[in-house]
A and B are shown apart, each in its own frame.
Chain A
C-alpha cells in the first residue's frame, strides 16, 4: 500500500494561475479531506468528502474547488491563485466517516504563489 499520495510535492505559481493538487489513496477509504497549514500555524480544513460524489466545505473553502468522482481520488483545484494561498497542503483519508479511526495524511504539497 502506498497510503495517501500527493502530487506535486512542490509548486510555484504566479498570481492568477490555476492548478490542481492531486491526492490519491489506495486503502479504499470513504472519507477524504484537504487541509492547509501556514507557517507556524495549525491545520485548517478546506474541503472534505464522505464518499464518491459527496463533498462539503470546511473552515476555509474560498478560492478552492473539489470533486470526488472516484473513491481513490480527491483533487483540490485552485481557480485563480493568490499570494494568500501560499501554504503547505495536506490531504488525509480515513476508513468510513471521520470518527471511525485514524486519519492517514499525505506528505504535503508545498505551494508558493508569487
Chain B
C-alpha cells in the first residue's frame, strides 16, 4: 500500500501558486519524499525530492514539516501546462519497491 495520502483533486488559478499537500504520517527516518507528475497519458516525470530540509529547483519547491509527517509541493506560478496528476511517494534506502498512490489531479484554471 502507498504510504502517503493526497487529496484526489485540486484547482488552481493560472498564475497563482499551486500548493499540493501530502500526508506521510508513518514516515521513518531513512525515507525520502519524492514528487512526480504525469501529464495526460505520458510517463511520469520526476519533480523533486527531499529528506528533511526544504528543497527548491527550477520546477518547484518542496516544504517538509519539522516532524516530517507531511509535505507540500509548491508550483510558484502555475500555468496550464502544469495540469497533471501529481504523485507524492516515500522511498527508503532499504526498500526498492516504489509504490505510487493515486495522486492528486491538479486542474489549472485559465
Contact = CB atoms under 8 A, between A and B. Distances in A.
A108 B97 contact: no
Interface string B26-57: 00000010101000011111100100000000
B97 A97 contact: no
Interface stretch (B17-25, B72-80, B87-95): B87-95
Interface residues of B, number: 25
B102 A41 contact: yes
A45 B91 contact: no
Given A98-B91, A108-B43, 12 more contacts: A42-B85, A42-B101, A42-B102, A43-B44, A45-B100, A56-B97, A59-B97, A97-B96, A98-B98, A103-B36, A103-B46, A107-B43
18 contacts: A4-B43, A42-B85, A45-B98, A45-B100, A48-B97, A50-B96, A56-B96, A58-B97, A88-B41, A98-B96, A99-B92, A99-B93, A99-B95, A102-B34, A103-B46, A103-B98, A104-B46, A105-B45
